[in-house]
Structure 1
Amino acid sequence: MKIILIGYPCSGKGTQAQLISKKYNIPNISTGDLIRSKILKNSIKNKKLNDKLKSGELISDKKIISLVKNRLKKKDCLNGYILDGLPRTLNQAKLMNKNKIKIDYIIEISVSKKNILKRALGRKIHIPSGRIYHKIYNPPLIKNIDNITGEKLVKRKDDNKYTIEKRLNQYDSVKKKIFKYYKNKQINIKYFKIDGNKKLKKITNSIKKILKK
């Protein structure tokens, strides 16, 4: 079971990926988390990478695919995996195909831009695990504290109006190109679109029904 979750930033991909990961016992691989993890390991060496992330710029496609490919070599990916937010560019889709990164499902979580901005400004994360919370939609049991570890939650520096709007525009500009590429290549991938404006449980149930097909 090899799944791609796509959609706007803050569309709920990360939350749904965690739930799917737990239910089907396959790893949730977020490109954003892979990048941030690399930055945290050596912040001086990766200063340019960090600056790009803060400004909302996209990291190079080759770098992204290299990080993902190395991650997929680990044993926990043998039975499948979830790729959160990949591919984000047409070139990434081509590189994934070239590197034989197999995909069975593409699930798009569709959310209005108005709701995306609302979600982004109220989101906080637990950096070591990538767990995502929201003060309204998915609050922690204790304010600003991770439910599992008791460690402090933080607001991502790229969760601001300017950066989010920039990413929304980037997403719209490449989505059609990516889907056209897959169609022209006749790659055998099942595609589904889910209304992500609904409540968390309803979205999760919709995904479960898809994966049972």
Structure 2
Amino acid sequence: MNIVFLGPPGAGKGTQAKILIEKYGIPQISTGDMLREHRAKGTELGKKAQEYMDKGQLVPDEIILGMVKERLSQADCAKGFILDGFPRTVAQAEALDKILSEMGKKLDFALALVVPDELLVERLTGRRTCKSCGMMYHVKYKPPKVEGKCDACGGELYQRPDDNEETVRNRLKVYHESTAPLIDYYNKKGILKEIDGSKSIDEITKQLIQILEGK
């Protein structure tokens, strides 16, 4: 089961990916995790990526694709994988198809979580993080027992800079501009499945399992 997960920031991709990983025993592949691992190990790809990051530049596609190819060839991906946060553009999607074809594989599903922007803004701007232990809260959906204080350690809660409204709306704008063509790309291939991401976590999981198991 080879899956690409699409969805805007705050759609709940990470939560659903974790559930599917446990249910089906296939790994979640995140480009962020791969970048951190390659940099930590000091691999050739990691060193090249670091050069761009040190200059504040985006890591070029060829480096990311090299990491993706290397990761997909590992033994734990033999039964399938969930790609999260990649591809982000049609060019990356085409390159991914080429890599998979060379490996004798193909994508089975592109799962797109669809959530109205206003709900995403509410979800993201309401997030609060503990400065001490990193525990996450939400002013509406998961408030702490004492306002501004972490239930676990009593640490101070704060709003991350990238969770303020202006930044969130900008992130959503960038997402829509770059990912709309990607949704069209996978739709034309006949593997796109759209899921209502405004439902509860359990309801979204149920929708996903019905799609994956062909019910």
Q: TM-score, normalised by structure 2?
A: 0.72
2:173 to 169, 174, 182: 169
Give the deviation of 1:62 after TM superposition.
2.0
The answer to whether the aligner puts 1:16 opposite 2:20 as a matched pair is: no
Map residues 1-213 of structure 1 onto 2, 5 A cutoff. Answer: 1-39=1-39, 46=50, 48-49=52-53, 52=56, 59-100=59-100, 102-121=106-125, 122=127, 134-135=137-138, 137=141, 143=150, 158-182=162-186, 187=189, 189-213=190-214
Distance 2:38 2:160 in 1: 16
Q: CA 1:139 to 1:22, structure 2 compared with 1: closer, same or farther past 3 Å?
A: farther
SS of the aligned residue for 2:110 comes to strand
Q: TM-score, normalised by structure 1?
A: 0.72
Give the deviation of 1:119 after TM superposition.
2.7
Distance 1:94 1:196 in 2: 26
Q: What letter corresponds to residue 204 of structure 1 in structure 2?
A: T
Give the deviation of 1:106 after TM superposition.
0.8
Distance 1:92 1:114 in 2: 29
Give the deviation of 1:175 after TM superposition.
2.7
Distance 1:3 1:76 in 2: 14
Distance 2:90 2:128 in 1: 28
**Conserved? CA contact 1:106–1:192, under 8 Å:** yes
SS of the aligned residue for 1:102 comes to coil
Structure 2: stretches of 5+ with no match in the other structure: 145-149, 153-157
Which residue matches 1:129?
none
Bigger mean CA offset, 92-101 vs 200-209: 92-101
Distance 1:77 1:24 in 2: 12
SS of the aligned residue for 2:86 comes to coil
Give the deviation of 1:204 after TM superposition.
0.9
Give the deviation of 1:163 after TM superposition.
4.3
What's the RMSD between the two structures over aligned residues? 3.6
**Conserved? CA contact 1:26–1:82, under 8 Å:** yes
Give the deviation of 1:46 after TM superposition.
2.0
SS of the aligned residue for 1:79 comes to coil
Q: CA 1:111 to 1:27, structure 2 compared with 1: closer, same or farther past 3 Å?
A: same
Bigger mean CA offset, 41-50 vs 27-36: 41-50
**The structure with more radius of gyration:** 2
Identical-pair percentage: 35
